[in-house]
Amino acid sequence: MFGRHHSHRSVWGGHGGQHHGRHPFGFHGHHHGPRGRGGRMGRFFDHGDLRLVVLKLIADKPSHGYELIKAIETAAGGAYTPSPGVVYPTLTLLEELGYVVASEAGGGKKLYTITPEGEAFLVSNEQPVRSLFERMAEAASTSAAFSPQILRARENLKTALRLKLHGGQLTAQQIAGIAKALDDAAAAIETL
């Protein structure tokens, strides 16, 4: 249903107005599921789009690579998480093009800051950048199941339960308390 989409576009993913076979959120090719892995719904970004998103995020706030990964995940409502294997080469390319500079921030981390050339490039690509962030906001509004807050809370619950159940012998009172806490949480969710 959402096959690969091929177009002849610039390295920076310029949009020529032709969006044949596009998913409602603009996904193409291989999407890697809700967390950026597995699945075959279509790629979240076209070729070059991630560069624009990363550059815009750096323009808004100088950031480390990990912060950029989390910022993209948050902007997409958890529907997409870029891998470090995609983000760090993108940062290297932006640095080589002179659009960002990296400074040592201690602990082996680099802090990326936009350059005047990068700012000028963003201005010249203002419409595609705006469209990308609008698509991410649209994806975020329809992907509550993958919201970072829900995913974090669910993982916290699973971890706490696993640690408690495998941490040694539980008393009847502890078992009843765990069951009640889980039932109460389920009931609270159902009434939202």
pLDDT tens per residue across span 114-158? 999 999 999 999 999 999 999 888 887 776 666 667 778 888 898
Residue 76: predicted pLDDT: 85
Residue 91: predicted pLDDT: 97
Residue 39: predicted pLDDT: 31
Residue 36: predicted pLDDT: 38
Mean pLDDT of the chain: 78
Domain 49-143, architecture per CATH: Orthogonal Bundle (1.10)
Quick: pLDDT tens for 4-50.
Answer: 333 333 333 343 333 333 333 333 333 333 333 333 334 678 888 99
Residue predicted with more confidence, 190 or 38:
190
Statement: residue 71 has pLDDT above 70:
yes
Q: Cα separation of 151 and 138, whole Å? A: 19
Q: Where are the domains of the chain?
A: 49-143, 149-190
Residue 144: predicted pLDDT: 63
Residue 148: predicted pLDDT: 67
